């Protein structure tokens, strides 16, 4: 008897949320056009040996551990692979999309052959392959191997994929005969007629709109792999049945699959959750609760640097800094509309002296209250306020993911209150500021999207047109290419979204600039114009980093935990050859710290072990101290990336570090 799987209709499937553990990681998305077999770092390691002419003990100790060279973790990690495979995407290759679509059907057919009692639901193609959701008993890795073998058999049989059109009544009759309840629900949501069905040979069929390859033999068996099983609620609703979701990947050739696997391995090596633990940067303490980030001393130092740089840059750009409360009366969130439109992402209210209070999910209303504290004149505009404000959003435990999806996070939030004719200049200023801040971290490749007015919106046609033109003009003046997402704007105004590209070519949504016609109306904010009449200002929301937690996670993965000198939590580690040099090392460390350099002394182990530990902890600079260094009041310096720098006085070492930090370069 024929069995039935899911219709792969994009309108039904492309955005089905997973609301249970484990969640698909944003970092797993494969970058468009990325060539994963290329070298993955722009910083080439040095394999220079430590030859310490000034220190009789340093070189023998180091050579003992490394056969004459200081161990270089970076060198081992970044071996150059000559082969290059540029991977296609679903958008660039319709053949690839057809292959993945058909693989989802083939997998569903295989599952129902092996597990006759399983019920099929939906199964779309996705960025890196495909998935399918089944109502069945939990699956194991051993089960995945069986399913893959059955898929291979189906592919080898070269079964044709045949399209058939049927009436709604006929489709319903066939589905009921197979006892597939999820399919009946899907059929009810399909509005188009006739209903289309795709058959695999004469053994299995599926409600489906296509497209597919001509036959299963068009799929390369060795270019397909089943990756994992996860739990997913039907329709993304935690009140519905928990399903078994099987993820697979499919490519046009075996070489492409190998390239993709290489990319996945590199992404795994860079996983911020593992590196956060290995480098002692942060943790999620389950005793305190999921999704709540604990910044450890090393991570906190990096956060301090980020915050300090962010604040200084904003002050220089004419922003005023704010600090606002973490809670407010519930009435404030009623005025803003959050309780009506955002309640599912907010925590339960708390009672304070018989009055309901609410943890803030956003900072916007607070900044509006600061604006409203006094009467504003048109001469005062634009007014720019910025805050590193911590907000709290309700997330199901299954949706939490390291630093990328948390329950409490700090936004680099800012709001600009301006006149209509100031929109373009203010947006251009935000774009310049965004480029400056992100450029500090080496992010210079951006993907920019301009989203315009949706069908349901607030505000007049005139102001929407003026705001949209202002955003376009600002982007054109900046010289940035962008894609227009017609109708993709927020209901309250048009917006610009910017994605950065990391060292693996992955795209990350960070920055956003949004014009808002809604909140100024809700809060009745005004200014006095040149005719002493009250007018409504334009409000611009903007964030550059997005949130400190998520951006920190991106940085960890971008650098693979190997932070540049200016950002590294420990910039220099001083290593005595024996304890006889310890006093001098402590004196040097104190001097470095007094000059603003993050330095520490490590001892108690043989020098080779100290060197290995510094490499493992990705410390940019090591200063080896033996008897001759103590006598000459010098240091023998080795850079993690540039090898041995020679022996130099302490003051010279300090000057070199300070110069490199100022330039945000390496040493």
* Catalytic residue list contains 101: no
Selecting among 411, 514, 571, 617, the annotated active-site residue is: 411
Question: Which tokens sit at 126?
Answer: 């996705």
* Catalytic residue list contains 393: yes
Give me the residue label for tokens 């696997």: 261
- CA 245 to mean position of chain CA atoms: 23
* Catalytic residue list contains 418: no
Using an 8 Å Cβ cutoff, are 185 and 207 in contact? no
Selecting among 23, 393, 407, 618, the annotated active-site residue is: 393
> Model-level pTM?
0.81
Distance CA 10, CA 206 (A): 15
* Catalytic residue list contains 413: yes
The pLDDT tens digits for 540-581 are 999 999 999 999 999 999 999 999 999 999 999 999 999 999
Counted residue by residue, the chain has a size of 667
Selecting among 272, 415, 598, 640, the annotated active-site residue is: 415
Q: Name residues of the chain where pLDDT drops below 50.
A: 1-83
Distance CA 177, CA 174 (A): 5
For CA atoms 577, 581, 587, 588, give the dihedral sign: negative
Q: What are phi and psi of 258, to 5 degrees?
A: -60, -40
* Catalytic residue list contains 15: no
| Residue-wise DSSP of 539-601 | EEEEEEEEEHHHHHHHHHHHHTT---TTT-S--EEEEESSGGGHHHHHHHHHHHHHTT--EEE
Strands 383-392 and 320-321: parallel
**Closest to 183 (Cα-Cα) out of 107, 241, 136, 121:** 121
pLDDT of residue 54: 35
For CA atoms 556, 558, 559, 563, give the dihedral sign: negative
**Closest to 523 (Cα-Cα) out of 263, 366, 336:** 336
The pLDDT tens digits for 258-307 are 999 999 999 999 999 999 999 999 999 989 999 999 999 999 999 999 99
Selecting among 208, 364, 418, 585, the annotated active-site residue is: 364
pLDDT of residue 84: 62
Distance CA 457, CA 253 (A): 46
Distance CA 435, CA 479 (A): 12
* Catalytic residue list contains 208: no
Selecting among 199, 401, 495, 618, the annotated active-site residue is: 495
Burial 324-361 (b: 16+ CB within 10 A, else e): beeebebebbeebebbeeeeeebeebeeeeeeebbbbb
pLDDT of residue 398: 83
pLDDT of residue 107: 97
Selecting among 143, 271, 412, 413, the annotated active-site residue is: 413
Distance CA 547, CA 554 (A): 11
* Catalytic residue list contains 541: yes
Distance CA 426, CA 104 (A): 48
Residues 6+ apart with CB under 8 A from 352: none
Q: Kindly report the CA angle at 164 between 161 and 167, in degrees rounded to 5?
A: 155
Selecting among 360, 407, 541, 638, the annotated active-site residue is: 541
**In percent, how much of the chain has pLDDT > 90?**
79
Question: How does DSSP classify residue 537?
Answer: P
């Amino acid at each position: 008897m024929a069995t039935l799987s899911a219709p792969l209709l994009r309108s039904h499937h492309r955005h089905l949320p997973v609301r249970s553990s484990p969640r698909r990681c944003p970092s797993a998305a494969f970058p468009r056009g990325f060539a994963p077999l290329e070298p993955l770092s722009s910083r080439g390691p040095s394999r220079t040996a430590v030859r310490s002419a000034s220190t009789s003990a340093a070189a023998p100790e180091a050579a003992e551990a490394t056969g004459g060279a200081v161990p270089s973790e970076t060198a081992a990690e970044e071996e150059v692979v000559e082969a290059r495979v540029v991977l296609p995407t679903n958008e660039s290759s319709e053949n690839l999309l057809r292959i993945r679509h058909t693989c989802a059907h083939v997998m569903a057919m295989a599952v129902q052959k092996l597990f006759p009692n399983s019920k099929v639901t939906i199964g779309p193609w996705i960025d890196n392959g495909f998935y399918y959701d089944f109502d069945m008993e939990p699956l194991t890795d051993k089960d995945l191997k069986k399913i893959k073998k059955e898929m291979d058999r189906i592919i080898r049989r070269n079964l044709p994929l045949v399209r058939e059109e049927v009436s709604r009544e006929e489709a319903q009759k066939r589905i009921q005969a197979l006892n597939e309840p999820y399919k009946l629900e899907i059929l009810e949501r399909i509005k188009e007629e006739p209903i289309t069905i795709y058959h695999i040979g004469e053994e299995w069929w599926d409600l489906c709109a296509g497209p597919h390859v001509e036959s299963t033999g068009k799929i390369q068996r060795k270019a397909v792999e089943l990756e994992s099983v996860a739990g997913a609620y039907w329709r993304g609703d935690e009140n519905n049945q928990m399903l078994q979701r099987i993820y697979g990947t499919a490519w046009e050739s075996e070489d492409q699959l190998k390239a993709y696997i290489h990319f996945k391995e590199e992404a795994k090596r860079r996983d911020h959750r593992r590196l956060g633990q290995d480098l002692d940067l942060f943790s999620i303490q389950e005793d305190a609760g999921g999704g709540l980030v604990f910044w450890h001393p090393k991570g906190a130092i990096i956060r301090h640097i980020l915050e300090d740089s962010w604040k200084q840059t904003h002050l220089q750009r004419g922003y005023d800094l704010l600090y606002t409360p973490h809670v407010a009366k519930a009435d404030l969130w009623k005025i803003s509309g959050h309780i009506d439109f955002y309640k599912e992402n907010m925590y339960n209210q708390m009672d304070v002296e018989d009055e309901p209070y609410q943890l803030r999910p956003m900072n916007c209303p607070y900044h509006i209250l600061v604006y409203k504290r006094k009467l504003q004149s048109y001469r005062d505009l634009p007014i720019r306020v910025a805050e590193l404000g911590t907000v709290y959003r309700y997330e199901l435990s299954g949706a939490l993911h390291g630093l990328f999806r948390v329950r409490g996070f700090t936004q680099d939030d800012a709001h600009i209150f301006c006149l209509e004719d100031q929109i373009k200049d203010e947006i251009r200023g935000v774009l310049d500021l965004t480029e400056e801040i992100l450029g500090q971290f080496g992010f210079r490749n951006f993907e920019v999207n301009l989203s315009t007015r949706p069908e349901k919106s607030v505000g007049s046609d005139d102001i929407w047109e003026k705001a949209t033109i202002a955003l376009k003009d600002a982007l054109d003046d900046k010289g940035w290419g962008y894609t227009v997402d017609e109708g993709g704007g927020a209901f309250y105004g048009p917006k610009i979204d910017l994605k950065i590209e990391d060292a693996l070519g992955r795209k990350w949504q960070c920055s956003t600039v949004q014009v808002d016609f809604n909140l100024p109306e809700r809060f009745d904010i005004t200014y006095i114009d040149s005719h002493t009449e009250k007018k409504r200002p334009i409000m611009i929301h903007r964030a550059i980093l997005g949130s400190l937690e998520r951006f920190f996670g991106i940085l960890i993965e971008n650098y693979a935990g190997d932070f540049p000198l200016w950002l590294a939590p420990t910039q220099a580690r001083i290593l005595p050859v024996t304890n006889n040099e310890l006093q001098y090392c402590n004196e040097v460390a104190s001097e470095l710290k007094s000059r603003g350099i993050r330095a520490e002394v490590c001892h108690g182990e043989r020098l080779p072990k100290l060197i290995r530990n510094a490499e493992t902890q990705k410390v940019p600079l090591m200063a080896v101290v033996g008897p001759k260094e103590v006598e000459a009041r010098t240091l023998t310096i080795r850079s993690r990336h540039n090898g041995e720098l020679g022996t130099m006085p302490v003051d010279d070492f300090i000057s070199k570090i300070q110069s490199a930090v100022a330039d945000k370069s390496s040493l």
